[in-house]
Amino acid sequence: MRIDLTEACRLLKDDVVAIPTETVYGLAASLYDPKAIDKIFLLKGRPRKNPLIVHVASEEEVLNLSLSQPPGYEKLKELWPGPITLILKADTAKIPSLARAGLPTAAFRVPALPLARELIKKTGPLVVPSANLSGTPSSTEPRHVEEDFGKNFPVLDGGTCQKGLESTILSYNDATARWQILRQGAVTPEMLTHVLGYPPEVVIPESGKDPECPGQLFRHYAPKATLTVTADAEIAVGFKERTYTLPVLLLGSLENPEEVAHNLYFVLRELDERGIKRAQIDLDFPTTGLWTTLRERLMKALHKG
Ligand code: TXA
Ligand code: MG
């Protein structure tokens, strides 16, 4: 059910609403409403060990909710409003334990979409995980949210998400005195290298060890369809410059990773909408910039892990 800003504000007094951001749609609840936050975990089927990102309207609010900001923070905050999330020491008196999954840290982001910031200015800080059932592809348009949570679920309509990929998550590593990437996302490693003056390490979770980004533990981004790299499939998911032996669902152009990012979750969801059981994914694309995030998402979807 599509709702407007006024209705979203009203509902957020004691309930959960889906909202648009420039990355993907999210399920929002007030940071100060543990009951609504609890409902988010239930709705998504999300493990309570997986903390949420606190979304604020301006950077000053981040300073209010965190205890300290490591070196380099001043440079990274220049990317806000935007698709970047920073892990900081949380003011645990202000941020409910449920939102942090009991951690002493919290994730913060100032979204770039004006409609989202306008809403948060009115409601105060919101926790906003992606608006999809845990493990499935994120939602990049209102229809996706309604597919996962039902036709009557309230969705603040912001049209299609511009980026189509989640924010990049960074944390500060005290041992190396450098920021590191916990989740690749819409901001590329090259952009971060430019901002920080060094290339941030991409942390790959070690099997058998607790990952620094709890979300990495769980199944992700996978449609019901089985994805494969071989041609024993009903359909190919690929690029408009190429020819395939199978009918093809296009991600976009090899010249335009932003377009591919914008389309990725739409296409993964489209496979299930069409009842496809097995799809061939073309992974033969560059290894730089946004392509690194795209590969990571597709590999997770491929292995349903
Ligand atoms: O673009 C985005 O970030 C979207 C939109 C809606 O803003 N949100 C999003 O939220 O992707 P979610 O909940 O799907 O992913 C949040 C990730 C999870 O992997 C979680 O483990 C990690 O952030 N996270 C949250 N708090 C953390 C913390 N204190 N330390 C490490 N990782 C944390
Ligand atoms: Mg998510």
Tens digits of per-residue pLDDT, 10-68? 999 999 999 999 999 999 999 999 999 999 999 999 999 999 999 999 999 999 999 99
Token pair recorded at residue 200: 């941030």
Ligand 1 pocket test: which of 17, 130, 187, 210 has the largest number of ligand atoms within 8 Å of its C-beta? 130
Instruction: Tell me what pLDDT residue 305 has.
Output: 57
Q: What is the DSSP letter of 158?
A: -
Q: Is 50 in the pocket of ligand 1 (CB under 6 A)?
A: yes
Res. 205 pLDDT band, cuts 50 70 90: confident
User: CA-based angle 90:50:174, to the nearest 5?
Assistant: 45
Q: What is the DSSP letter of 204?
A: P
Instruction: Tell me what pLDDT residue 209 has.
Output: 73
Amino acid, single-letter form, for residue 237: V
Global pTM reads 0.97
Number of CB atoms found within 10 A of residue 14's CB: 12
**Residues 258, 112: Cα–Cα separation, whole Å:** 16
Q: Is 128 in the pocket of ligand 1 (CB under 6 A)?
A: yes
**Residues 131, 105: Cα–Cα separation, whole Å:** 23
The Å distance, Cα 129 to ligand 2 centre, comes to 6
Q: Which residue has the tokens 């009115």?
A: 122
Q: Is 263 in the pocket of ligand 1 (CB under 6 A)?
A: no
The Å distance, Cα 236 to ligand 1 centre, comes to 30
The Å distance, Cα 16 to ligand 1 centre, comes to 17
Out of 79-93, 188-202, 207-221, 265-279, pick the least confident: 207-221
**Residues 23, 106: Cα–Cα separation, whole Å:** 19
- At residue 304, does pLDDT exceed 90? no
Ligand nearest to the CA of residue 24, numbered in listed order: 1
Instruction: Tell me what pLDDT residue 14 has.
Output: 98
Q: Is 169 in the pocket of ligand 1 (CB under 6 A)?
A: yes
**Residues 268, 29: Cα–Cα separation, whole Å:** 27
Instruction: Tell me what pLDDT residue 216 has.
Output: 75
Give the residue-averaged pLDDT of 182-210.
Answer: 92
Yes or no: say if 56 and 112 are a contact pair by the CB < 8 Å rule: no
Atom of ligand 1 nearest to the CA of 26: 6
CA dihedral of residues 43, 36, 5, 85 (deg, nearest 10): -80
Q: Is residue 197 classed as helix, strand or coil in its secondary structure?
A: coil
Q: What is the per-residue pLDDT across 110-155, written as a single tens digit (0 to 9) for each?
A: 999 999 999 999 999 999 999 999 989 999 999 999 999 999 999 9
- Is the Cα torsion angle 53, 56, 62, 67 positive or negative in sign? negative
Element (H, E) at 29: strand 26-30
